[in-house]
Structure 1
Amino acid sequence: MPATEPVRLGRKRALPSCPNPLFLKWLTELRDEAKEKGLKIQYTYQKVQRMYVLPCKTNKHQHILSDQGKDGGGDGGRKKKREYVPQKRSGGYAVLLTLYKETQVPGSKGYMFKMELQAEAQHLCDKSFTAPDLGSKYTAWSSVSTLIQKNLVIKTHNPARYSLTEGGLTLAERLASAEQTNTDGDREAVRSELEATEEDDAVSCDVDDVRSSGKPQDSQTTMTTSRKPNAECLLPGTYEIMLCVDFIETTGGSHHRKQELVKELQRNGVNFDIRKLNVGDFLWVAREKVAPVAGQLRAPVGRELVLDYIVERKRMDDLCGSIIDGRFREQKVGVQCNHSIVVDGFFVKRVQDVRESAAYLTIMTRFLTKLYQNRTLICRSRELEGDGGSDEEERGLPSCSLMSFAEFNHGAVKNKCQTVREVFARQLMQISGLSGDKAAAILEHYSTPHSLLTAYEQCASEAEKEKLLSSIRYGKLKRNLGPALSRTVYQLYCTQGALT
């Protein structure tokens, strides 16, 4: 019979049921609180309660507990807030990079206006900054509000100026660095492919043939990447004529009638784009042809120059109403502000219905395509005097100077913040017989209503007040305004009761 082990007699020391009772109490409270709120983190707290069975002497040992963080805090299980980083090729991504590149330019003003920011950032974004996608009301510009909320971009002044904050500058610098790295990687890949292709072609070619084939044989390509001697010019064949339709003509009102216009243009094969136009309902632009870039959903948007043709579509009753209330004159002034060659004598084309309107626009598009097919287009700002000379004109080649669409549309904004001087000029021009030249002459002496009223108060008699403006000269011939017009202005601004 084998020897048995001696039986030990005595009391057994009771072991604590929980090695970490204080931490267990905290975790239980956190678990119950999370359970009441319906948070999934309750399961994490429950799991941590059974994770570590050895006693923790200090809260420095608490980081051993799973998912509780290294700082020993009770809220270590909560997720840290992720840093906002805009998606590549999105609107916010393009805006940050564009503002960052602007800050890197020597002598930069440090901010950008909306129109120039949209124009410069468009090639970095897959979506349009001006026109929403089909079935959506948002554009790429909508993401700017998110950048402002995240304190990455700051908006100041009126008109609005957009600039980067310190946080936005740091994030944009990282995005630019990543973009440069990707670009360098793509260039290396393309260079490797070209070298491999040249090695394959060298098997069936002489050395002289390889040396002479440094450029593609097809030199008649229509993409601007192969022929772009001047960044301010669009050579023949490097652009296409496109009709721009104001989005008001396709939305609101009689939806069926306005959609019929779009369908007619599509049926006629017209190349058109729907966007917001600040002047006119239809106009034509010369859009630069740009080759698609590998890895991008959409091809970069080329430059756009506005042709000297604008169409304002009106019904007869609407035309009569606009003449009566002065909107017709305001629209003519809007066109004159953007194209100085237009003075008056607008051509009126009468059409019966929407189908005839679409037919007229189709014919005009084809006519302009043929008219500009052999012309070199020069991008020129409205701030420069004259058309200026060009190499094409010196060589006898047909060319013309046009304004960019971004500058054209920005210069025709109707809801821009107006100064007191501009509002005063509008008031004066509402008086019968007081033209723009006469209003400008009055503004040279009295730029605001307050200055004019002050001058009236300094006059000694009523007769002197009525003749205050009569001797002001206007126009090229320097004629006097006359006593009749001066008396009318005085009665308008100084009559206490109702005007008779």
Structure 2
Amino acid sequence: MPAASEPVRLGRKRALPSCPNPLFLKWLTELRDDAREKGLKIQYTYQKAINSLNKYPLPLQSAKEAKILQNFGDGICKILDEKLQRYYRDNGAPLPGGQDNNSLAPSRKVNKAKKKREYVPQRRSGGFAVLLVLYRQLQIPGSKGYMFKMELQTEAQKLCDKSFTVPDLGSKYTAWSSVSTLIRKNLVIKTHNPARYSLTEEGLALAERLEAAEHRCQDNQAGGKEGEKEENGTGVVDLTVSDDDQEESSRDHSPSEKLPCVTQPASQAGDTALSGKAHESQAAGCLLPGSYEIILCVDFIETTGGNHQRKQELVKDLQRNGVTFDIRKLNVGDFLWVAREKVTPVPGQLRVPAARELVLDYVIERKRIDDLCGSIIDGRFREQKFRLKRCGLRQPIYLVEECGSAASHQSLPESTLQQAIINTQVVDGFFVKRVQDVKESAAYLTIMTRYLTKLYQNRTLTCRSRELEGDGGREEEQVGTPACSLMSFAEFNHGAVKNKCQTVREVFARQLMQISGLSGDKAAAIQEHYNTPHSLLTAYDQCASEAEKEKLLSSIRYGKLKRNVGPALSRTVYQLYCTPGALS
């Protein structure tokens, strides 16, 4: 029996709608066909994406919008976007016709490119002050061309209403935060370690304009034009404002326009002057008598790990003696003292404002006799002494716990340990305090805390920077008065980081100290003449004979006694740096 034929449908056949995204469909089909020819299974993924695209009735502006469809992952969308950008690049513009022609990307209204307005820091802001100070420093005859952070903050504070060190209430930003914006805008460049700040060519041009505007502003204030200039002060642009926010104001003011200055009424100017003095004293880091307290800082390693019971005994003894101490991470030393500013809670604020801390010139490295023996064997003993000398504190102390007869039961002879302790005191210039056990260590820390509290109770403390410090502090010590120019704790602890980025000079010094018999004093003396390996090798090349090269460093004097490095050590250094191949 013949099969029944399908019923014939009469009437007009409705045309199927074309895909509203023809380019995506075309490219997906090509990808599917290529994968099919190569026998790749990804052809099925492309086919599923084609099916999803055919079912979607709306045009897509980009492949990212296709992620809402099934089987469109990041890989397919990325390929389609690349093809789309290449298509636009080859054809010069999006497809014509828009949605009416079922094109991929409907025509858009092309906006004219917005002209970005030049960034100009607001008057008496952090960026304004930094640019002016760097510019004025360049105008000084014989200027070094850069400034360190501490001196830059001190000088710029006079030209800024906000503090460079203390954030405003409810904020974590200071005036110094604007320096990152200046660096990002290529107005200031930061180099070296410690950091040096200098102006770029763009920064120099902007600073000249700011200096001229500042002179005009001062002249206007002297002439009694405060009210007029206050009305015209809207042209100053803050560095923190975005380009979109500045667009409206840039329509009325061109970049070539003169920089106006914002002035204040006399009463506000007086208040600003007073607040500027307060900020200046804060930037200088001054702590007046009675405004701070002496706190003992204990390295957290001294309270955790190892013999926990013995370490907790130290903490309990300090608490029993009524010593105010704080446990924190110290990058060098085990104990030190800070002068912490007394701060009071602010009504309506959750957290107490951060207190400034200045480090007193005393740091203690505590050593049990077994720890001393181990540090001599593995080389930590010399390295720790070298780092204590370079930490910036002028009174390093070695606290040695002899623990009875324990010295006679170590890996090294007792005479070797005693000689190391004596060398630390006589040769390295450290003060060595010998105690018997943990209780005596706690007693010594208690006595030192009370002594320093009394010593500094009526003194005004100022903040100094290691970048700018001279020998004035050492002269104060010689006449018996304590140094009142102290480092901030943050700068001290950051500078004492063991594995921080090092300069060539620092690496060269550490390299020299790996030679047996070459101490830190000898390495420092060699670096006074040859501060890098390149300068040392250049000096060797200028010598006429091998004998002269071997004796090049022999007459260099080191240490307090000004002894010669000697021919043997000089020959060893020469062989290390000038012998080709492996050393025998």
Query: What's the TM-score once normalised by structure 1's chain length?
Result: 0.51
Asked whether the equivalents of residues 437 and 475 of structure 1 are also in contact (C-alpha less than 8 Å), the reply is yes
Give 1:286's aligned residue. Answer: 339
Distance 1:426 1:31 in 2: 58
Matched, 1:306 2:359: yes
Asked whether the equivalents of residues 421 and 448 of structure 1 are also in contact (C-alpha less than 8 Å), the reply is yes
The CA deviation string for residues 264-320 of structure 1, in whole angstroms up to 9 with x for no partner, is 655665433333322211111111212333332223223322223222233322212
Distance 1:168 1:315 in 2: 58
Give 1:245's aligned residue. Answer: 298
The CA deviation at 1:446 is: 4.0
Q: Which amino acid aligns with 1:347?
A: V
The CA deviation at 1:102 is: 5.0
User: Match for 1:101 among 126, 135, 149?
Assistant: 126
Distance 1:404 1:121 in 2: 14
Distance 2:567 2:301 in 1: 46
Asked whether the equivalents of residues 438 and 474 of structure 1 are also in contact (C-alpha less than 8 Å), the reply is yes
Q: Which amino acid aligns with 1:346?
A: F
Distance 1:483 1:280 in 2: 35
Matched, 1:170 2:196: no
Matches within 5 A, 1:116-135: 120=164, 123-124=167-168
Distance 1:155 1:248 in 2: 39
Distance 1:103 1:127, change over 3 A: closer
Matched, 1:350 2:431: no
Give 1:329's aligned residue. Answer: 382
Asked whether the equivalents of residues 165 and 282 of structure 2 are also in contact (C-alpha less than 8 Å), the reply is no
Distance 1:335 1:128, change over 3 A: farther
Distance 1:127 1:270 in 2: 33
The CA deviation at 1:108 is: 4.8
Matched, 1:315 2:368: yes
The CA deviation at 1:244 is: 1.6
User: Match for 2:506 among 384, 401, 422?
Assistant: 422
The CA deviation at 1:451 is: 4.6
User: Please, which runs of 5 or more residues in structure 1 have no aligned partner?
Assistant: 1-21, 38-58, 61-70, 74-96, 130-143, 175-187, 189-224, 391-397
Distance 1:261 1:484, change over 3 A: closer
Give 1:49's aligned residue. Answer: none
Asked whether the equivalents of residues 473 and 480 of structure 1 are also in contact (C-alpha less than 8 Å), the reply is yes
Distance 1:125 1:111 in 2: 29
Give 2:486's aligned residue. Answer: 403
Distance 1:292 1:111 in 2: 36
- State percent identity of aligned pairs: 61
Distance 2:558 2:317 in 1: 50
Distance 1:374 1:156, change over 3 A: closer
Matches within 5 A, 1:213-228: none
Matched, 1:339 2:393: yes
Asked whether the equivalents of residues 102 and 108 of structure 1 are also in contact (C-alpha less than 8 Å), the reply is no
Give 2:229's aligned residue. Answer: none
Asked whether the equivalents of residues 152 and 169 of structure 1 are also in contact (C-alpha less than 8 Å), the reply is no
Q: How many residues align?
A: 353
Give 2:420's aligned residue. Answer: none
SS in 2 for 1:317: helix
Q: Which amino acid aligns with 1:429?
A: M
Distance 1:497 1:298, change over 3 A: same
Matched, 1:491 2:575: yes
The CA deviation at 1:470 is: 3.6
Give 2:85's aligned residue. Answer: none
Distance 1:490 1:171, change over 3 A: same
Distance 1:242 1:171, change over 3 A: farther
The CA deviation at 1:472 is: 4.6
Asked whether the equivalents of residues 297 and 338 of structure 2 are also in contact (C-alpha less than 8 Å), the reply is yes
Distance 2:66 2:505 in 1: 68
Q: Which amino acid aligns with 1:418?
A: Q
The CA deviation at 1:348 is: 2.6
Comparing both structures, which one devotes a greater share of its residues to helix?
Answer: 2
Query: CA RMSD for the aligned pairs?
Result: 5.8
Distance 2:580 2:284 in 1: 61
Matches within 5 A, 1:83-482: 101=126, 103-105=128-130, 106-108=132-134, 120=164, 123-124=167-168, 159=193, 169-171=239-241, 233-250=286-303, 265=318, 269-337=322-390, 338-340=392-394, 344-350=429-435, 352-353=437-438, 357-358=441-442, 360-382=444-466, 383-387=469-473, 400-405=483-488, 406-453=490-537, 456=540, 462-472=546-556, 480-482=564-566
The CA deviation at 1:170 is: 1.7
SS in 1 for 2:133: coil
Query: What's the TM-score once normalised by structure 2's chain length?
Result: 0.45
Asked whether the equivalents of residues 361 and 483 of structure 2 are also in contact (C-alpha less than 8 Å), the reply is no
Distance 1:160 1:232, change over 3 A: closer
